[in-house]
Amino acid sequence: MQKQTVAFSRDSSNLFFHILTKCNLSCSHCYINKTQHGENTLDIGTIKDWLGLFSPKAHQTNLIFLGGEPTLHPDLSLAVKEARRLGFLSITIDTNGYLFHDILDKITPDDLDFLSFSLDGATKHTNDIIRGKGSYDAVLSGIQKAGNKGFSCSMIYTVSDKNIHELELMPSLVQRLGISRFFIQVIGMRGESTQSSKILKARQVSKDLWLKTIPQVAETIAASGIIVTYPKVFLTPGEEFQCAGNVAENYFVFPNARVYQCPICEDFPLHSHEIQNNRLVTMPSINEKDLFKLNIPEGCVMNKMIQPGNLAYTKSGKPSHKIACCMLKQELIP
């Protein structure tokens, strides 16, 4: 098994394209903020135009179609085919599994690299508390339908204090479902998740619990032949902090034409770019790129400002650990 930290590179890029913010579910940890991200659904002409803005580097760009729920868009299949025509390095649809508008009948496995399904509990009880009643069955059914048609399926499990206890049950489930890649995410305290009731609100887990649980489960899943990716979150003592915003080209595009480079900034009008008249325009200071340059003992300055719950300090007031850039990943390749 090969374990590696996925380093930032100027030679690769990720385009997270939110083509709408509408969704059929109301997950307790949803990061969408319609005040900041807009409520409109992009028409297919605009989607094609915006894909074209990033097409000069398409051959080195991983494209992920997101929402809301992207399969709610009636022309998602046309967007996928346009992305393939433009030559994007990989194309993924992130879905909650309901697979609206007969999307599986409108595209083929040749059009798409991955269908990525979100599941946040190994049992129906836990998942449906977080994501909504019926969502567990919908995901499992969606994966089966996609697999039967030859699509490559991956899965995202967003870890919080509400579901980390079931992560150890996931290895047997992902093997049974035929998942080829498994992504573990850490919950981001932003968007709709901050509006949840105190009873439902999910929270980030402690450093000790994360390090005790995540690497071990990741290795178990990878040992079965599945590629596993998870965020590093906590830097080791002496490890240097590096912000992806200063090195890599990652773009988070929203229907209101805002383009961010850091997902933690998305609750605020700090976007570094904006699409204006079909041009990618750099925004004036102060924006997120000004914050990327700051150097603090805690590591990620945006984490310190927006979601400081995973920080801890010594009695003298010094941070006991550094938080890694949220884009820094660990990958296990069988």
CATH number at residue 120: 3.20.20.70
Any domain includes 80: yes
Any domain includes 278: no
Any domain includes 287: no
Any domain includes 187: yes
Please check the confidence at residue 318 and state whether its pLDDT lies above 50. yes
Check residue 190 and give its pLDDT.
75
Check residue 267 and give its pLDDT.
93
Model confidence over 198-252: pLDDT tens digits?
Answer: 445 678 899 999 999 999 999 999 999 999 999 999 999 989 999 999 999 999 9
Any domain includes 281: no
Percent of the chain with pLDDT over 70: 97
Any domain includes 121: yes
Any domain includes 47: yes
Distances (CA, A) of 99 to 191, 205, 260, 267, 311: 24, 31, 27, 28, 38
Confidence of residue 68 (pLDDT cuts 50, 70, 90): very high
For 13, the domain range is 2-240+326-333
The span from the CA of 148 to the CA of 235, in Å, is: 41
Measured on CA atoms in the order 62, 263, 115, 8, is the torsion positive or negative? positive
pTM of the model: 0.95
Check residue 201 and give its pLDDT.
67
Please check the confidence at residue 196 and state whether its pLDDT lies above 60. no
Model confidence over 80-105: pLDDT tens digits?
Answer: 999 999 999 999 999 999 999 999 99
Any domain includes 214: yes
Evaluate whether 102 touches 78 at the Cβ level (below 8 Å): no
N-terminal to C-terminal alpha carbon distance within the chain? 4
Check residue 202 and give its pLDDT.
73
